A and B are shown apart, each in its own frame.
Chain A
Amino acid sequence: GENVEQHPSTLSVQEGDSAVIKCTYSDSASNYFPWYKQELGKRPQLIIDIRSNVGEKKDQRIAVTLNKTAKHFSLHITETQPEDSAVYFCAASSKAAGNKLTFGGGTRVLVKP
């Protein structure tokens, strides 16, 4: 089955700086890669996603890049703000596996004002 690894597990940045989180996956059949933000006790919230036919996607301060050959994808947050502090999860899925999401271990991001 799919295995997703996520690094780093914690990330502390100064407000205004950029944050980068990296994930690798094992199943070459995976073709959908969402990123979620989760605040304590709340549901995961989709912040951006990318499909395997695209190498990069951007939405305001958030961008995701995908390298299918190397089987890794990354989340980039620019101009970080204190409200960006949360736990971020990457995930991967494929139609072949019934669209099941396999999550990375999570990254706890702290943006210091």
Chain B
Amino acid sequence: GAVVSQHPSWVICKSGTSVKIECRSLDFQATTMFWYRQFPKQSLMLMATSNEGSKATYEQGVEKDKFLINHASLTLSTLTVTSAHPEDSSFYICSAGGQGGAYEQYFGPGTRLTVT
């Protein structure tokens, strides 16, 4: 099956700093990638949809200037959490859209962000 990696798997940063998370599709080209956030004991909430070569589409309530998404190539999308605050501490998971317009999404292993 398709493989999606994320880096780093966990990160601790200080309040006010920025953190970049990378999401890579290792064995296929992903024209669409999705970024989710999951708080403890809660469901996955879609933050934004990222299409290669174009601006990301953010879900209602997600600050686009705070969560910068770049999808520069068909195998790499990045999420940068700018001016991080403790309330941004969460599990961030990316997924890559199915090949050829197929429905299935392939999830990365997630990144645990802790802001102190």
Contact = CB atoms under 8 A, between A and B. Distances in A.
A81 interface: no
B111 to A, nearest CB: 11
A99 interface: yes
B104 A100 contact: no
A99 B43 contact: no
A49 B103 contact: yes
A101 B34 contact: yes
Interface residues of B, number: 23
Chain A: interface size category: 20 to 34
Interface string A16-57: 000000000000000010100000011111100101000000
A39 to B, nearest CB: 11
B49 A101 contact: no
Interface in A56-71: none
B44 A103 contact: yes
A99 B103 contact: yes
Given A43-B109, A103-B43, A49 B104 contact: yes
Contacts of B64: none
A85 interface: no
Nearest to B1: A46
A101 B46 contact: yes
A106 B39 CA distance: 12
Given A49-B104, A93-B103, A43 B93 contact: yes
Given A43-B109, A100-B34, A34 B104 contact: yes
A98 B48 CA distance: 11
Contacts of A49: 103-104
A106 B28 CA distance: 29
5 smallest CB-CB distances across A and B, nearest first, come from A32-B103, A43-B107, A103-B43, A103-B44, A43-B109
Interface of A: 32, 34, 41-46, 49, 51, 89, 93, 95, 98-106
Interface of B: 32, 34, 42-46, 49, 57, 91, 93, 95, 97-98, 101, 103-105, 107-110, 112
